[in-house]
Amino acid sequence: MTVEGNRVTAAVVADEQSQDRCAWSFRRTVLFWWGLYLVIQQAERLFLLPEALSIETPSAGMLAKTLVTGVRADLITATLGVLVAVFLAWVTGWIRSAFWRWRGALREGSFLHRGGLVAFSGLIGGLFLFLLTANMGYYHYSHQYLDFVFFEYLDDLLAQGPGQASQAALQTEAELQEGQRWGLRLASFLAIEGAGILAWSAGFKRTGGLSLAPCCSGRASNLVVIVALVAGLTGFHLYGPWSISSVGIPSSTYYLLSQNPIWYGSEALLGTFASRLGGTVSALVHLMPLDEAVRAAREALAPGATFPNQRYPLVRETRIDRGIALKRPANVLLIFVEGLDRRYLGRTLDPRRSADFERWFIYHAPEVHPQDDRASATVERIRLTPFLDRLKEDSVYFSNFFANGTQTARGLFASLCSYYPRQGTAVMKTRYTLDYLCLPSVLGKSGYRTEMVIGQNRDRNYDHIGLFMARNGLQQFFDESDFPPSAEKLGIGMTDGALFDFLRTRMETLRGAGRPFFLTTLTVGMHHPYTVPAFHPEVRVLQQHADRYVAALRYLDLEFQRFFTGLQRDGLLENTVVFILGDHGRHHGSGRTETERWTGHFTAPLFIWMDESVRTRQTYRPRTVSTVASQVDLAPTILALNGLTPHLSPFLGRDLSCLLIRDCLQDNVAFLSSVYDDLIGLADRDGLVLYSLRTGTLYQTDLILEAPPVSRAIDDPAVAARYHRLLALYVSANVLLEQNRIWSWNNLGARL
């Protein structure tokens, strides 16, 4: 080989070595910061663990699942942090190179400047540490991760003018005066974080920066790092971050601990900004000015009430002298039945008739006495809900009850938090870090044990029900992962029979705890595609019917009868009030007219039933009530019955307890909001008015949907006042929700 050839070969080798050193430097930097981000997040979770243990003692399995899920969640955030640092360093390097080219100077080096990568990685690491420190302090204060309450507190603290002292400032000053208490906690936290950082740095250096050189070439090592980053971004799960929010940890304390505080706080911060931007708000106030809407809404919701806070204009002082209170707090069993439509109750179906709802609705057999099951004895005519029909006779049944929304998450929000559903994406999905006053929170603060059981995954539709309920007072949330392996699963979740079996075990456990409890559940069997077990001959016959909803309804009635009568027989309903309702009406539009198909989404029933140990002539008289009511009335009613009505509340519903013994509240209204048709409506004693936001058309009909709908002009004197009230409720509720002016635990919580 010539001397010149040797020189070329040496140059090539040197160039390859130089490239490998650059690649090695990049790999080493990325791996170091990637691991460091993970370490500082894990250190914070371990620091919070003793406090979680002081709240609730978990099983070994639950604790292990919490910690493993936490590692996966932190790994996702750590990977995002590294990728952001790499991207910013690349942009900086590109700008640097472009600048020198513009100056006519040639500089060696790649766009990815190593100094920039280190600087941005350090900046992101510092931001992580700052957020984790704030989260640590806030968790100690509220047992929550950084949420809207924290950012509201921060905003109040920073927004005070000269010479002013906000509540946030006074609270901060009081905390600072106890420096020894919080100072020791902060020093301990920073010491643990520092120890973790030092241990990682020393270990990283000792292992040669996790060198891959012995087994891989420079390019292969880079590929290994890239693959690891992709895997880390998914949290080593096919569904990525969703697998974290959907993890089956029933305890709200440990479910929250398994989540990542950085992305939880980031979503809260984004929600804060979203509530200030006002894009949706401007479109709403174009329909009606907010001040006008609030005035009309106040008169519709609580005539004569006092509204003491301008920042939260629908928060009102509550009168507690008109309802009924039990002698002692009762257990509350709240059962949401998926898609339970009151139009189908009390019906007898001839399977030989047409499957079309409009026709069988006309051809239904004459009413059968509730105690007579002969209609269910043959397949010629099948009573769809014989047990619910009998229970109706022993309950206070609301014949003009309405769901406020058209989807499960909206129905749960309206029922548990007594506020109207958002017209856009559901509140539980997009606003779960914001401030509400919900039924589980008030009950929990009053000594109740609060639990929920569902037959699906807690985050199946990415609706964040688990996160929302953990934020708003639910102590235990059981989903399909908590059911025994032998539990039957069909369709989209556990069968109603398996759900009721699991619910019974929770009733037994809660009754043995010696404290009042709130237990709620949601069935899934009557959700499309209506797949239910065909164990009963009538269910098998009805499954041949083109409308499979009726088979699912018959199955639900059979399983609920088994569940309910078993609880009665074994004394598990002692000192218990039971509420049974639909989370909404039937999913798929059905009815004789287009208006009825629209309104059918809202026609849910409500049963209120009391055990013999609770009822007296002064508190309970089974009957059918014609007063208009809706889901937002549930929370005020449950609290009033148990003597727990807060002195101040943002509830849009009213206490219905007086209706348990007499006619009252004839002026009550129900606001309806459908995302399917951009439809809003108002039900009152004069009937229904429905307004299409999409077409601008207004219709009027009766409450039982028998009269043909009549089209009206919005200025028609016959409906003008009701249209104005409808628009006022729509605008005020949605604008205040978007601006997060519903409730403030920080400013108003002490007045409960």
pLDDT > 70? residue 166 = no
Q: Any residues with CB less than 8 A from the CB of 430 and at least 6 apart, and which?
A: 271, 422, 424
Instruction: Quote the pLDDT of residue 380.
Output: 66
CB-CB contact of 502 with 487 (8 Å): yes
- Kindly report whether the peptide bond that precedes residue 533 is cis, defined as omega within 30 degrees of 0: no
The reply to whether 658 and 546 lie within a common domain is: yes
Q: Which two tokens mark 245?
A: 């929010």
User: Side chain identity at 73, as an amino acid letter?
Assistant: A
Instruction: Quote the pLDDT of residue 597.
Output: 77
Least confident of 532-541, 594-603, 691-700: 594-603
Instruction: Quote the pLDDT of residue 361.
Output: 41
Q: Among 620, 650, 667, which residue terminates a domain?
A: 667
pLDDT > 90? residue 514 = no
Instruction: Quote the pLDDT of residue 178.
Output: 57
Instruction: Quote the pLDDT of residue 365.
Output: 38
DSSP label of 658: G
Banded pLDDT at 212 (limits 50, 70, 90): low
Higher-confidence residue of 355 and 592: namely 592
The reply to whether 237 and 339 lie within a common domain is: no
Instruction: Quote the pLDDT of residue 377.
Output: 41
Instruction: Quote the pLDDT of residue 639.
Output: 96
For residue 451, what are the β-bridge partners? 476, 519
How many Å apart are CA 77 and CA 80, to the nearest integer? 5
How many Å apart are CA 335 and CA 579, to the nearest integer? 6
pTM: 0.80
By C-alpha distance, which of 297, 416, 324 is closest to 615?
A: 324
Tell me the mean pLDDT in the region 123-152: 84
Q: Please state whether 187 falls in left (phi above 0), alpha (psi between -120 and 50) or beta.
A: alpha
By C-alpha distance, which of 400, 403, 344 is closest to 626?
A: 400
Q: How many CA atoms lie within 13 A of 751 on its CB side?
A: 17
- As a three-state string, the secondary structure of 328-375 is CCCEEEEEEECCCCHHHCCCEECCCCCCCHHHHHHHCCCCCCCCCCHH
The reply to whether 572 and 648 lie within a common domain is: yes
By C-alpha distance, which of 278, 281, 301, 273 is closest to 731?
A: 281
Q: Which two tokens mark 224?
A: 């290994």
User: Side chain identity at 566, as an amino acid letter?
Assistant: G
DSSP label of 58: P
Instruction: Quote the pLDDT of residue 19.
Output: 45
CB-CB contact of 342 with 399 (8 Å): yes
Summarised one tens digit per residue, pLDDT across range 708-727 is 888 898 888 989 999 999 99
Decide if 682 is inside a domain. Answer: no
Decide if 393 is inside a domain. Answer: yes
The reply to whether 397 and 528 lie within a common domain is: yes
pLDDT > 70? residue 2 = no
pLDDT > 60? residue 695 = yes
Q: Which two tokens mark 376?
A: 């269910």
Instruction: Quote the pLDDT of residue 707.
Output: 79
* Residue 375 structural domain: 308-667
The reply to whether 348 and 491 lie within a common domain is: yes
Summarised one tens digit per residue, pLDDT across range 315-346 is 999 876 678 889 999 999 999 999 999 999 99
Cα R_g (the chain), whole angstroms: 30
DSSP label of 735: H
Decide if 675 is inside a domain. Answer: no
Instruction: Quote the pLDDT of residue 441.
Output: 95
The reply to whether 99 and 223 lie within a common domain is: yes
The reply to whether 260 and 346 lie within a common domain is: no
Tell me the mean pLDDT in the region 631-649: 95
pLDDT > 80? residue 205 = yes
Sign of CA dihedral 201, 204, 208, 211: negative
Summarised one tens digit per residue, pLDDT across range 49-103 is 999 998 889 999 999 999 999 999 999 999 999 999 988 888 887 777 776 666 6
The reply to whether 252 and 312 lie within a common domain is: no
CATH of the domain at 609: 3.40.720.10
CB-CB contact of 66 with 257 (8 Å): yes
The reply to whether 337 and 242 lie within a common domain is: no
Q: Any residues with CB less than 8 A from the CB of 69 and at least 6 apart, and which?
A: 244, 247, 249, 258
CB-CB contact of 434 with 740 (8 Å): yes
pLDDT > 70? residue 616 = yes
Instruction: Quote the pLDDT of residue 385.
Output: 96
Burial class (CB in 10 A: 0-12, 13-18, 19+), 600: buried
3-state SS, residue 577: strand
DSSP label of 606: E
Decide if 169 is inside a domain. Answer: yes
pLDDT > 60? residue 267 = yes
The reply to whether 316 and 457 lie within a common domain is: yes
Banded pLDDT at 592 (limits 50, 70, 90): confident
In the chain, how many domains are there? 2
Q: Which two tokens mark 382?
A: 């099948």
Tell me the mean pLDDT in the region 126-143: 88
CB-CB contact of 556 with 496 (8 Å): yes
Sign of CA dihedral 544, 548, 554, 558: positive
pLDDT > 70? residue 177 = no
Decide if 479 is inside a domain. Answer: yes
Decide if 241 is inside a domain. Answer: yes
Q: Which two tokens mark 252?
A: 């709200």
DSSP symbols for 225-260: HHHHHHHHHTTSSTTTHHHHHT----BHHHHHHHS-
Decide if 715 is inside a domain. Answer: no
DSSP symbols for 379-433: SSSEES-HHHHHHHHTSEEETTEE-SSSSHHHHHHHHHH--PPPSSS-HHHH-TT
pLDDT > 90? residue 545 = no
3-state SS, residue 261: helix
How many Å apart are CA 127 and CA 118, to the nearest integer? 14
- 10 Å Cβ neighbour count for 28? 17
How many Å apart are CA 89 and CA 94, to the nearest integer? 9
Q: Among 645, 667, 689, which residue terminates a domain?
A: 667
Q: For all residues of the chain together, what is the average pLDDT?
A: 84
Helical spans, DSSP H, in 103-178: 114-142, 148-159, 167-176
The reply to whether 327 and 208 lie within a common domain is: no
Banded pLDDT at 613 (limits 50, 70, 90): very high
Q: Among 230, 264, 298, which residue terminates a domain?
A: 264
Q: How many CA atoms lie within 13 A of 73 on its CB side?
A: 25
Decide if 366 is inside a domain. Answer: yes
Summarised one tens digit per residue, pLDDT across range 439-495 is 999 999 999 999 999 999 887 766 788 889 988 999 999 999 999 999 999 888 899
pLDDT > 70? residue 646 = yes
Question: Tokens 């001959």 correspond to what residue?
Answer: 537
Instruction: Quote the pLDDT of residue 421.
Output: 92
The reply to whether 555 and 451 lie within a common domain is: yes
CB-CB contact of 315 with 748 (8 Å): yes
CB-CB contact of 673 with 691 (8 Å): no
